[in-house]
Amino acid sequence: MFKRIGLIVGAVLLSTLLLGYVFRLPLLQWVIAPELEKAGVTLNCLDFSITSSLNIHADRVCLNYQNQQLQLTGITANTKRVDIENAVLTVNPLPESDNANQLAKNLDLALPLNRPLINIKQLVVKSDELNKPLKISILEPELNKFNVSGDINASAILTANKVSGQFEINDTFLKQVINTKNTLIADFNFNTQQAFSFDGIELELNGDIRSQFAHTYEQCKVNVLTTGKLATRFNLNSQALIFNTDLLNNKINLTPSCTELIPPSEYAGFISKQVPLNWQLKLPQSISLEASELSVPVINLVSVGDKQFDILITDTTLNIKSPFEDLQTTLSAQINTPDINNINVNAQISSAAIKGDYAVILEGLPEFAPATANGLSLSGHFNISEFIDSKPIGLINAKLTFNSVDAFDIRAVQYQGDLTAKMDKQLNAEVALTQQLKSAEYKEFKVTDISNTLTANANLGVGELFADLTAKTNIKAVNSPDIKLNNIKVESTGLQSRALKATHHAFINNVELVINHHMSSQAHPFEVVIPEQSTLPLNAFIRQFEPLAQLTKGEFNGYISGDINLQGASFNMGISHVSALYNDYLASDLSSTFSGEYNSGKLNVKPTTFNLNEFRAGAVVKVIEGQWQVSSNTALINDVRGSVFGGEFSLDRYTVGKPNQVANVKFENIDASKLVTLDDKSGIVLTGRLAGSLPVHFDSGKIEIIDGSLFSQGTGNLKITNNAAFDSVMQQQQELQPVLGLLTNLDIQKLNSSVALKNDGWLKLGVNLQGYNKAEQQQVNFNYNHEENVFTLLRALRLSDEITQKVEQQYSQKGN
């Protein structure tokens, strides 16, 4: 009975197993697949069988979870082990909708106390992020303990609420699996051993790391070595990634040959001496990345050696998706080298804005500089925004001072300069430069107390650039062996586009000038306008060449135009009603209008008439008129006529500065009473008219009259009364009384005299006098030689002339 029941039950069970095996695939689709789908897993394929040893063998299993495909082949499972020959995991990017609003949870695994151990002979991981598929083997020697070998060596322990273990990664693995086009990865050596733990929300890594980057660019070798401990935490929910990097030692070393990369130049040697070859990078305790926001509290790059470079970056935050738009950081740099006293830079960067200050101190300029200087200081500040993908707005300021500088035969002392450049949102830019200089010397020229302000305004919008320029310059003095200029003031305006067009309103020793010029690469035309003004300010120039000369009255004006590049100019000048003193000579009311040109170093003035109302030098010369001109830098005076001693005189030709020449001076209709009776108390009266010719010889600065003549025109009369010298001769030489007595009242029929004047002023007259004495009714023929220093005579006459009063009056008015 029992045997029969057993056979029936066995037959039923066997039939059930056979039916289940035959209909295994439909059963999977109806029962197992819906349960997997509740967990988000899609079963795409499954084909299994039962082996003779009652093991379950599956040729292939296909699973899909959140767009990730897993395909298993060669699966053998029993109650103790699950062996998988091959597994292929294809990792694809998750859809954005799958990433949103999903929070990770702490692990809470319902781990069975007993289950088969898993062994995967080969797991291949494929991804577009990998350079090549990742191949590993997974072995579970004990329950929930796994060993991984292959491209990655790792071990892991699985508990209900944590996965922990450790792994090793080296540069060979990185070079195989990292998908990058950067060829520098070939120069990268990396090795790390990391302990890890994962609780479902946070992943923690902690371990030793050693990396070395050695790259050669041309002859320069760069070596970056990082050793130490690195701790990492990543939170799946906050997407916060935190690196603890303060235990890392980072060294950057360059070979000396790296300095050869500096382009050859006069300053290449100086730069190579300043650049450190050994550096150390110090990182903060923690670097965090949360939701694409990177935060770095501090980065310190320090040089090693006597060249001190200290670059400190603090409080850095940025969005890695738009690093420049959201960058926030503070930067400071300090540089000290044997050749650079101190360089300090401080800056704060906020999004597309940067502000800060800087200071540079140098004892002297580098050797390559075309100048020598001492006591240099450069400092300033800046505040700039919108400098990314736009034109910057804000301002930059620079202040430069130095004690002295020598360059290009120029020596300057105590310079101060202040430069400010700014621009607004409408792209209106302004540059202002203020300068002060105690003194500057160039060869024999010396300039003292210089101050200058220059302002440039322009709009940098679309179109041709136009800049409006304004400047003010004050110079206390310009000195040279030839001339001294004082109180120079220049106010300038200009327009800079393709060329510079400027106007300068200048006052030099109170002489007013207006200068216009247009400077381009092809030409530099200019014009100088001299407004109508008093001649008195010109005394400051004249006094430097002739201390005894002084202008006392008059006006002048002029216009000059030309081209500086061509070194040529033309001009029109005018002087009117000019009066002047020279020692105690007085010229009154001089007027002349003239024009000319300057070309190739030659000055030419067209023949021009001049008029001088009066000239006093003891004798009074009036109504002087003549012509003057300049030909190839040589001045010529000719056809000069005027009135003197009641008659006329003329000068044919005189070349100014010519060493050897003869100027012929002629006299006509001279009033003898004014010529001879120069002293009203002399008791000598001569009447009649005289004429003469005086060849004036100029020989290397010496003036002489040779073979001059003086003769009478018509008749005249000579009277001598109460002349002490004449009376003394009469008394002392009584034998001459009859002869000399004939001269006391003599009607002159003819008078001839030779004239000779030496360079020292001694005048020699050889006089022949023919006349008739009515009282004695006797004809007289009288020869007389007279010598006298005419310079002394004229000087004595001038001292008693009214010119003395005028000289005193003019000097008292001018306070000189």
pLDDT for 531: 94
- Where residue 14 falls among pLDDT bands split at 50, 70, 90? very low
- Where residue 814 falls among pLDDT bands split at 50, 70, 90? very low
Mean pLDDT lowest among 211-215, 490-494, 702-706, 796-800: 796-800
H runs (alpha helix) in 136-241: 171-177
> Which of 21-25, 209-213, 298-302 has the highest average model confidence (pLDDT)?
298-302
Which stretch of DSSP H or E encloses residue 18?
helix 2-22
pLDDT for 9: 37
In angstroms, the CA 504 to CA 162 distance is 85
Largest Cα span, the chain:
218
In angstroms, the CA 632 to CA 605 distance is 9
> Which of 188-192, 354-358, 407-411 has the highest average model confidence (pLDDT)?
354-358
pLDDT at 257 over 90: no
The pLDDT of 578-605, averaged and rounded, is 89
Check residues 813 and 491 and name the one with the higher pLDDT.
491
H runs (alpha helix) in 84-144: 96-99
pLDDT for 240: 86
The pLDDT of 589-606, averaged and rounded, is 92
The pLDDT of 263-288, averaged and rounded, is 85
Tell me 178's DSSP state: B
pLDDT for 4: 38
- Where residue 39 falls among pLDDT bands split at 50, 70, 90? low
pLDDT at 12 over 50: no
pLDDT for 1: 36
The position carrying tokens 């200087």 is: 373
pLDDT tens-digit map of 356-365: 999 998 888 8
The pLDDT of 21-44, averaged and rounded, is 57
pLDDT tens-digit map of 688-732: 899 999 999 988 778 899 999 999 998 988 888 877 777 777 788
pLDDT for 811: 46
In angstroms, the CA 764 to CA 768 distance is 13
* 3-state SS record for 670-728: EEHHHHHCCCCCCCEEEEEEEEEEEEEEEECCEEEEEEEEEEEEEEEEEEECCCHHHHH
- Residue-averaged pLDDT of the chain: 82
pLDDT tens-digit map of 760-789: 888 898 889 899 989 888 998 888 888 888
Mean pLDDT lowest among 249-253, 567-571, 607-611, 724-728: 724-728
pLDDT for 96: 57
pLDDT at 221 over 50: yes
The pLDDT of 269-275, averaged and rounded, is 81
Residue 85 in contact with residue 71, Cβ under 8 Å?
A: no
- Where residue 101 falls among pLDDT bands split at 50, 70, 90? low
- Where residue 576 falls among pLDDT bands split at 50, 70, 90? very high
Output b/e per residue, 15-27; b: 16+ Cβ within 10 A.
eeeeeeeeeeeee
Check residues 32 and 502 and name the one with the higher pLDDT.
502
- pTM equals 0.68
Check residues 272 and 121 and name the one with the higher pLDDT.
121
Give the residues across from 43 on adjacent strands. 63
Mean pLDDT lowest among 105-109, 339-343, 556-560, 801-805: 801-805
Q: What is the dihedral of CA 39, 43, 47, 49, to 10 degrees?
A: 10
> Which of 63-77, 85-99, 333-347 has the highest average model confidence (pLDDT)?
333-347
Percent of the chain with pLDDT over 90: 30
The pLDDT of 615-639, averaged and rounded, is 89
In angstroms, the CA 454 to CA 494 distance is 11
pLDDT tens-digit map of 192-210: 888 989 888 888 999 999 8
